[in-house]
Each structure stands twice: as structure tokens, then as C-alpha cells.
Amino acid sequence: MKPAILVTRAVFPEILQLLSQHFQVESNQEDVIFSPPELVTKLQGKQGVFTTASARFNAELLQQLPDLKMIAQMAVGYDNIDVAACSAHRVMASNTPDVLNETTADFGWALLMATARRITEAEHWLRAGQWKKWSYNGFLGADLHGSTLGVIGMGRIGQAIARRSMGFDMKVVYHNRSRLDPEQEARANKARYVSKDELLRTADHVVLVLPYSAASHHTIGADELAMMKPTATLVNLARGGIVDDVALIAALRAKTIAAAGLDVFENEPKFHPDFLSLENVVLTPHIASASEATRRAMAGCAAANLIAALGGERPPNLLNPELWPKS
Ligand code: 8YV
């Protein structure tokens, strides 16, 4: 008999088709968001789950799921999964690294440029019928070319963002848990490793691409925002919670930094309503990886991990390698 799995959210129909060749699939094309108790009920008797970052897998949930063997997540970030608890319950977990690096880096630049050059603010003004005449100081923004880019979190996506800055003749400074090797630094537009404080003080544009964890919670709060230049922009592509949104709203309102571009928020899809009253912030609904090709690649990657794991093979993107080989 085929193993039973749950697909927690709506997904490309061809992925469901592929999964159906290997598993008895309970899908959710209506895209209902399951509460934790609903998820526990749905996962009874299921050996696998294909999930997105919107479901939380913690110890409390896992101990109610004796049949579960594999959590295949369709995202690179996996702060919604307690990997240590998974290992304790002998549940494998996987994510979808690499397939989204370039698409996410492209979007980082789109958000950075829209923020620095005030594109959405200007468009709202135009759409509101306010464009009556040209003015010398209309929507003056900050230059990208020749400026200093600061990347916090210099993983694969951070490096892809830094590489793109070569075309803008920018300098790159970065901060990361560990320093890259010299070859990686050279490829990332000769990125220079600096302390977080130096980065915040010297960068004209700060981009956040670090994973969320208890240690990275509020990496950017009131103190960090106060170190930034008043002309600087801040872009968060990583996860809500890395920035203290209340502190950011205060800084944007007081113009102690010039502008922010945010693709992620604390408590998303709810977000702090005060962002809506600010003109110097560009807001997007967590779409950095949302190109047609990349979302398909992410779904394919998550499916491949699930098929491998429940077929007795090592999943290519196993997050808890201590569970392999199986005892
Ligand atoms: C996903 C992301 O779209 O991969 C990630 O970590 O943040 C996005 O690419 C989102 O998390 C869906 O699961």
C-alpha cells in the first residue's frame, strides 16, 4: 500500500499528480489554513507531510503524530520547524535551498531600487491624479550606483545579491555568523567582512538576508536603526521578527532612516497597520521567491525530498542528517 501524506496548502496540480503516483494524497486545493489541532487531526495515519512555512511543527504537535516520518517543506527558511524536536521524534525534515537563490536576489534588487528611488510612492501620487507639473525636488531619492551596500546574512542569497552590485559600481560590506573564504568574498564584489555596528554606520543600503532564529530575533531594533545614516534604506527579505517593526515604524516616522522595503513582517500575513500610514516604506506580501519557474522548482524539490524519504532513500535536502542512515 502507498504511504499516506497530507499536502497542507494548495499547490501546482502537476505536483499533486506526481505525489499521487507515490502516495495516497490528501490535498487542500481550497487552501484552508489549518489550526494546530486541525493539523494534528489531518495528520493522523500520515507518514509524510508536504508543507509551507505557514504551518508550525513543534514538539507539542510532533508528540501527537506517531505515524509521521517526514516533513518536506517548500521553502528554504525553516524556522517554523523545530528540527531538534523532529530528531527526538525520529521525523526527518527537509527544505528547498538553492533553487530560489537567484530569483530571491533579483527581487531583493527590485525592492531595494523601488525603496531608494521611491517608485511606489511616486506611482501612488501619479495614480491619485496629483501630477500637475514637474518640480526640481519631486521624489528625490538615494543613488544606488557608487554607494555602499551592506548585507547582513551572507549566505547563498546574500552572495547573489552582492554579486549583482558589481553592475552598479558599489562597494559591499557584510556581516555574517562566520567570514566567507577569500574566493567567495572576491566573487561577491570583493565584499569586506565588518562588524554589525560598522556595517550599520557605513552602509547606504542595508539588506537583511539572514535566517530567523531566537538568536536573530530583532537583529534590527531601535539601537541599530539609530546607528544607520539618516539617508540610508533598509530592506528585509528574510523573515518577520528579524526587524522590530514597532522600532522601524518610529524610525521611518521620525526619518532617522530614509526608507524601508519590506517583504516580510512580524505576525504576517497580519502586519502593523501603522506601516500603511507611512509613505517612505515599500510593502510587498512575501513574494521574493515568486517567479513562475522558481515556485515550480521549489515545489518539485519538496516533492523529490518527500518521495526519497518515504521511498527509503536519503532526501537530498535532509535537515537532520543525524537520522541517516536509519538505525
Ligand atoms: C516562501 C520563503 O515562499 O523559502 C522561503 O524561506 O520565505 C519563501 O520563498 C515561503 O516561505 C513559502 O513557504
What does the pLDDT look like over 89-134, one tens digit per residue? 999 999 999 999 999 999 999 999 999 999 999 999 999 999 999 9
Catalytic residue among 117, 164, 239, 295: 239
As a whole number, the mean pLDDT across the chain is: 97
Across 315-326, average pLDDT: 94
Q: Are 49 and 71 in contact (CB under 8 A)?
A: yes
Q: Which three cell numbers stand for residue 228?
A: 544607520
Catalytic residue among 22, 156, 268, 296: 268
Listed by start position, the domains of the chain span 4-99+292-326, 101-283
Percent of the chain scored above 70 by pLDDT?
A: 100
Across 8-16, average pLDDT: 98
Position in ligand 1 atom list of the atom nearest CA 295: 3
Q: Indicate which residue's Cα is closest to atom 6 of ligand 1.
A: 77
Confidence tier at 68 by pLDDT (50, 70, 90): very high
Judge whether 4-99+292-326 and 101-283 match in fold. Answer: yes
Q: Indicate which residue's Cα is closest to atom 10 of ligand 1.
A: 75
Across 61-66, average pLDDT: 98
The DSSP code for 321 is G
Q: Which of 76, 239, 292 to mutate to test the pocket of ligand 1 (most atoms within 8 A of CB)?
A: 76
CATH homologous superfamily of 101-283: NAD(P)-binding Rossmann-like Domain (3.40.50.720)
Q: Which three cell numbers stand for residue 120?
A: 511606489
pLDDT digit string, tens, across residues 175-198? 999 999 999 999 999 999 999 999
pLDDT of residue 81: 98
Position in ligand 1 atom list of the atom nearest CA 239: 7
Position in ligand 1 atom list of the atom nearest CA 96: 4
Residue 76 has pLDDT above 70, yes or no: yes
Give the Å distance between the CA of 61 and the centre of ligand 1. Answer: 21
Q: Indicate which residue's Cα is closest to atom 5 of ligand 1.
A: 75
Sheet containing strand 171-175, strands side by side: 192-193, 171-175, 148-152, 205-208, 233-236, 259-262, 281-283
Instruction: Give residue ranges with CB within 6 A of ligand 1.
Output: 52-53, 74-77, 100, 289
Q: Which three cell numbers stand for residue 33?
A: 489554513
The DSSP code for 165 is G
- Kindly give, in sequence order, each residue whose CB lies less than 8 Å from that of residue 181, ignoring residues fewer than 6 positions away: none
* 286 noted as active-site residue: yes
Percent of the chain scored above 90 by pLDDT?
A: 99
- Which class is 4-99+292-326 in CATH? alpha beta
Give the Å distance between the CA of 182 and the centre of ligand 1. Answer: 30
Coil, helix or strand at residue 94: strand
Residue 61 has pLDDT above 70, yes or no: yes
pLDDT of residue 125: 98
Helices (H), the chain: 13-22, 36-42, 59-62, 83-88, 101-116, 119-127, 156-164, 182-187, 196-202, 222-227, 245-254, 292-310
Position in ligand 1 atom list of the atom nearest CA 53: 13
pLDDT of residue 325: 86
pLDDT of residue 326: 77
pLDDT of residue 236: 98
- For residue 94, what are the β-bridge partners? 72, 318
Residue type, 123: E
pLDDT of residue 83: 98
pLDDT digit string, tens, across residues 14-27? 999 999 999 999 99
Catalytic residue among 201, 217, 286, 314: 286
Residue 280: other Cβ atoms inside 10 A: 16
Residue 327 has pLDDT above 70, yes or no: no
